[in-house]
Amino acid sequence: MTSAATAFTLAIFKPHLVKNPVAYGAVERLIESSGIRIVTRKQVHLTQPEAEQFYRDHQGKFFYRRLISLMTSGPLEVLVLSGENVVNRWRELMGPTKVFKAVYSNPECIRSLYGLTDTRNASHGSDSVASFLTEAALFFPNQEFPPNNTTTTTDNYESNGHHHQNTS
């Protein structure tokens, strides 16, 4: 397999982005125009234990309680994205975690345009394929995502009617 093989990543639109229909639509258009495919998606409202499980690697960090509070404050949109080198491509679209840095280093990225603070930075993305597998299991436990599959299109994995397919 080559590094250009189709892979998957998890994306989360944080509550303040989901609550803003203009920003939400703009981020969806950014994804579509980038050539990244939305495989499946769902809206969830995390409980505190679910948020703590998801962000367990950040436990003990100064921003942990604030992050848990944000992620349980309203509905999230959780998406599985696919495409060549999708982990890096999605992270590039999101931009730096720190909004202030994003504004100066990448003014057209999602976090620069729609992030409010370093915690309320609009979006989350898996940092590796291994992280994706762990994260996807929490949100999509009954769905399989074959790693580095170059022959299967993501259309085979569409799971609901919320996705409007970009056919271009």
Q: Is 88 annotated as a binding residue?
A: no
Q: From the candidates 45, 124, 162, 163, which is the catalytic residue?
A: 124
156 is in an annotated binding site: no
Half-sphere exposure at residue 164, Cβ-oriented, CA atoms within 13 angstroms: 5
Q: Where are the alpha helices (DSSP H) in the chain?
A: 15-18, 21-34, 48-54, 64-71, 86-94, 99-105, 110-114, 129-139
* E strand or H helix at 8: strand 6-13
Q: Is 124 a catalytic residue?
A: yes
Q: Is 66 annotated as a binding residue?
A: no
Rounded to whole angstroms, how far apart are CA atoms 31 and 9? 13
Strand partners, 37: 82
Cβ-contact 13, 90 below 8 angstroms: no
For the chain, the 3-state helix, strand and coil shares in percent, each to the nearest 5, are 45, 15, 40
**Residue 167 counted as an annotated binding residue:** no
Residue type, 81: L
| Residue 8 marked in a binding site | no
14 is in an annotated binding site: yes
**Annotation: binding site:** 14, 63, 91, 97, 111, 121
Which residues sit in the known binding site for ATP? 14, 63, 91, 97, 111, 121
Catalytic site positions: 124
